[in-house]
Amino acid sequence: MISNPNLILYACVSKGTTILAEFNCRDADLADLASRCLEKAPQFHATFSHTVRKRTFTFLLDDPLIYFTIYDDALETSEALCFLRSVRDAFREIRVKSAGDLSSHSFQGEFNPVFHQLLTPAPATEMESPPDAPKHGHAGSFSVPLLSGDSTSKCLVMIKKKKKKRLFGVDANGESKDGLAENKVDVCDDNGVILSRDFSKSGLFVNDSPHQKAKHVWKKHVWVVLSLDLIVCFILFAIWLWICRGFKCIDG
């Protein structure tokens, strides 16, 4: 499930240009457009996205199969890729159980319920856990039958965390409402492993202004220079004592 399923305009599973199963929520023109896109599917890519006129076209390639979707550019690419990985995992499971060939729309009947399931908005009770829910319980979790792949659950967790951040004062662009900026990168690799890194400026050098840093560096530099001066003076004094054999020069 994704945050706004209505933004998905078209999705399909194909082998080359042969569409095995598809979802179309708008019109037949999208199917023709998808066919032309599949003819130009990028080679040597695991994933590929391209946006034209507020529509984004995203490929997930798993040779010899192609998982393809067209969606409104208001939807984040990370969510679209998670959706395609869910489609891939479901198709793998159905293909193992089914003896169907890879001809045009040969999996349409079996896969149509899966498309509708993945594009059904999640109930509000499933999107957020209640405050007293146990950490390891099932309250607030997503239920996705037929989809047993780890990538599906992990990607859903990523989307769920993003929603929680928006509720607790962080907007969709990764900037908190109190004005503190956040640099955020969320990546979900081909195996569904989410690589999420948050570099919050509010947590770095909270008490260190540029002036304080410069002052600290200056003090350190002064100590180094003084230490070198003391060492040189000590060496010169030792040489003087050696030449004069102690303080005999002074006595003379």
Residue 244, CB-side half-sphere exposure with 13 Å CA sphere: 13
Q: Per residue in 23-40, pLDDT tens?
A: 997 677 899 999 999 999
CA–CA distance, 39 with 59 (Å, rounded to integer): 12
- Average pLDDT over the chain, rounded to an integer: 74
Q: Per residue in 172-187, pLDDT tens?
A: 444 544 444 444 444 4
Does residue 50 carry a pLDDT above 90? yes
pTM of the model: 0.52
CA–CA distance, 147 with 150 (Å, rounded to integer): 9
The interaxial angle of helices 77-97 and 108-118, nearest 10 deg, is: 150
Distance of CA 47 to the CA centre of its chain: 14
Q: Per residue in 85-136, pLDDT tens?
A: 999 999 999 888 776 678 889 999 989 999 999 988 766 544 444 444 444 4
How many Å is the Cα radius of gyration of the chain? 31
Instruction: Give the closest residue to 84 by CA, choosing from 139, 47, 117, 121.
Output: 47
pLDDT band at 162 (very low <50, low <70, confident <90, very high): low
Query: Which residues does 38 contact at the CB level (< 8 Å), separation at least 6?
Result: 14, 16, 17, 19, 66, 68
Instruction: Give the closest residue to 67 by CA, choosing from 118, 29, 26.
Output: 118
Q: Which of 36-50, 64-78, 143-157, 227-241 has the lowest mean pLDDT?
A: 143-157
pLDDT band at 213 (very low <50, low <70, confident <90, very high): confident
| 20 touches 34 (CB < 8 A) | no
Tokens of 23: 């979802």
What pLDDT, on the 0 to 100 scale, is given for residue 199? 38
